[in-house]
């Protein structure tokens, strides 16, 4: 499969921002800007749990999909404060972010819990966006490739190739998240290739690895997205802060849209 055949994805991770009315307004502004557009990348809005329902309502019959920022791996039970995959599915959620570095850093998530959540997403047909990435210390100690490979392999433990068909991976260097320090596009491209070769080696299947979209995340803005999208190994972005502003987020989506159109025109 050629690089251009992979789906481009622009996902907005709203983190712990926006009340329900604010979320409705932001989703509405993005929808209004894109409603009549064709040849868009996959656009995914990931609001907080409490705003999933209003955002889903705003996105009905629009090109926008909705994702959760996290979930538990179990279906139900005495797990106070948790949200299960069936609860998300029942709302109409299609995507779920798994293993974001803030979950790993502040909420005790490990490679093992990421693996359990990925298996749960696959079991329930949610499209997983699995986040991997090194800290600044790991980068300075030349551990980037080892860390990213280990996180990728651990996330995929016990999954067979057929279960990877909807998988999306996001390379998010921790030092680039929310800091304004964007990873150089050529370097992000190199690490995306490391992620793909890890998957290719694990399954002895380079075509499988070549079919999986790898996004870049970390201080993405309208002013730096073009460089990332110009890289052959990168297929879009997981956007935090810049996704909270409709104009900025739509500008990022339009940059990706420019990449979608030539492929669509050919078919």
Q: In whole angstroms, what is the distance from residue 19 CA to residue 22 CA?
A: 5
CA atoms within 13 A on the CB side of 44: 28
Q: In whole angstroms, what is the distance from residue 62 CA to residue 54 CA?
A: 14
Is 142 in the active site?
no
Candidate residues 42, 241, 246, 256; the one interacting with ligand PGA per rule CB under 6 A: 241
E-state strands within 159-217:
168-171, 214-217
CB of 237 to ligand PGA, least distance (A): 8
CA 66 to chain centre: 12
Candidate residues 188, 218, 231, 260; the one interacting with ligand PGA per rule CB under 6 A: 218
Residue 12 as a binder of ligand PGA (CB under 6 A): the answer is no
Residue 9 as a binder of ligand PGA (CB under 6 A): the answer is no
Q: In whole angstroms, what is the distance from residue 248 CA to residue 57 CA?
A: 22
Q: Which residues contact 19 (CB under 8 A, 6 or more apart)?
A: 51
Q: At 243, give phi and psi (nearest 5°).
A: -85, -5
Q: Which residue is nearest to ligand PGA (CB)?
A: 240
Site string for ligand PGA, 137-176 (x = CB under 6 A): -----------------------------------x----
CB of 178 to ligand PGA, least distance (A): 4
Site string for ligand PGA, 78-117 (x = CB under 6 A): ----------------------------------------
- String of DSSP letters for 70-123: ---SSSSSS-TT---HHHHHHHT--EEEES-HHHHHHS---HHHHHHHHHHHHH
Residue 239 as a binder of ligand PGA (CB under 6 A): the answer is yes
Which position among 100, 134, 138, 233 bears the catalytic label?
100
Is 102 in the active site?
no
Which position among 109, 134, 138, 172 bears the catalytic label?
172
Candidate residues 178, 186, 230, 261; the one interacting with ligand PGA per rule CB under 6 A: 178
Q: In whole angstroms, what is the distance from residue 37 CA to residue 20 CA?
A: 26
Nearer residue to ligand PGA within complex by CB, 88 or 252: 252
Interface with ligand PGA (CB under 6 A) = 13, 172, 177-178, 217-220, 238-242
């Amino acid at each position: 499969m050629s690089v251009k055949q992979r789906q481009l994805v622009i996902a907005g991770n709203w983190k712990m921002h926006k009340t329900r009315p604010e979320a409705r307004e932001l989703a509405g502004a993005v929808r209004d800007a894109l409603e009549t557009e064709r040849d868009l990348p996959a656009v995914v809005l990931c609001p907080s749990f409490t705003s999933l329902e209003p955002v889903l309502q705003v996105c009905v019959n629009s090109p926008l999909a909705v994702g959760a920022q996290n979930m538990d791996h179990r279906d139900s039970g005495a797990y106070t404060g948790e949200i299960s995959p069936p609860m998300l599915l029942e709302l109409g959620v299609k995507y779920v972010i798994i293993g974001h570095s803030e979950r790993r850093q502040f909420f005790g998530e490990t490679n093992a819990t990421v693996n359990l959540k990925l298996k749960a997403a696959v079991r329930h047909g949610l499209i997983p966006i699995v986040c991997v990435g090194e800290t600044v210390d790991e980068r300075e100690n030349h551990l980037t490739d080892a860390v990213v490979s280990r996180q990728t392999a651990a996330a995929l433990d016990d999954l067979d190739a057929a279960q990877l068909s909807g998988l999306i991976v996001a390379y998010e260097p921790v030092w680039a998240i929310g800091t304004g320090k964007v990873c150089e596009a050529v370097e992000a491209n190199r690490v995306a290739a490391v992620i793909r070769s890890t998957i290719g080696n694990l399954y002895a299947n380079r075509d499988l690895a070549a079919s999986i979209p790898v996004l870049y995340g970390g201080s993405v803005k309208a002013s730096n997205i073009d460089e990332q999208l110009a890289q052959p190994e990168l297929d879009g972005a997981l956007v935090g802060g810049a996704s909270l502003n409709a104009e900025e987020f739509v500008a990022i989506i339009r940059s990706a849209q420019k990449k979608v159109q030539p492929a669509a025109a050919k078919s």
